[in-house]
Amino acid sequence: MPNFPTSWIHRVTGAALCMAAALVSQALSAGVIIDGTRQIYPEQRREITVRLTNDDTLAPRLVQAWLDSGAQEQGPEHSDVPFTLSPPVFRLDPGKSQTMRLSYTRQPLPSDRESVFWLNVLEVPPAANEFDPALEEGERNQLRFAFRIRTKVFFRPTDLPGAPAEAHEQLRWQLDHSAKETALVVHNPSAYHVTFNDVALVMGARKVAVDIGMVEPGKTLRLPVRTPLRTVPPDAQVDFTYINDFGGFSAMQRTSLHR
């Protein structure tokens, strides 16, 4: 496999990797895959590793990675998080893998609950004929799209009360029903984040889908019901599944509403 032309690297790092290129959903044609849909960082660890693989068997990728605290629109130049990531920029050949090291800088973070950050992986493929020696330099300057993948990184302090696998059991669900909107309001008194994969309001044999999201430790989240409802019976319940530490979906949980 030939090397990337120096001019190509300069164009990518100066434009796409600085967020000037379009950011497109990874479902379109992204080739880089992150090992795991989420990362857990225990406070006592010096570092954790994140493995990336170029699933494209033909073309290399130029990759840049950084963390943010939830500001999706910010690029790597605005990253201000208590972590270092190495290497932050690298070439990933087809079918190959690269391990990145994520280290906590020991800047203060809450010690009584998890904190969440986002790992961004931006990949830029070469143009289809980037390496064709018959092409002039100007002909190789073709538009290409950058693909960004974002996954969650949960920083987990030591000695947190309870267990992450039990956090869903502490959730308190309430119904907010008015003429304008029906919503489920969920409060999370645990020290762990709970991310929902599926939520439904159960009324006898009928199940109505509800918006999903992530409820933070000690916080409350409002989830609108997707179908307008005139009435809700007093014995209505909630069905939900959540995403565990391994990125899998829990078995369906059913719980009663608090009145």
* Pair 44, 139 in one domain: yes
Q: Please report the pLDDT score of residue 11 as a whole number.
A: 44
Residue 62 resides in a domain: yes
Q: Please report the pLDDT score of residue 73 as a whole number.
A: 85
Q: Please report the pLDDT score of residue 211 as a whole number.
A: 97
Last residue of a domain, one of 99, 122, 156: 156
* Pair 136, 182 in one domain: no
Domain that holds residue 145: 6-156
Q: What is the mean pLDDT of each run of 10 residues along the chain (259 residues)?
A: 43 42 42 94 97 93 95 85 97 96 97 97 76 52 74 97 97 90 96 98 96 98 94 95 96 92
* Pair 16, 93 in one domain: yes
Residue 1 resides in a domain: no
The CATH number of residue 103's host domain is: 2.60.40.10
Q: Please report the pLDDT score of residue 77 as a whole number.
A: 86
Q: Please report the pLDDT score of residue 57 as a whole number.
A: 87
* Pair 64, 85 in one domain: yes
Last residue of a domain, one of 109, 136, 156: 156
Is 0.75 surpassed by the pTM of this model?
yes
Distance CA 58, CA 2 (A): 12
* Pair 127, 194 in one domain: no
Last residue of a domain, one of 123, 156, 189: 156
Residue 252 resides in a domain: yes
pLDDT in tens, 126-143: 765 554 555 555 555 555
* Pair 243, 141 in one domain: no
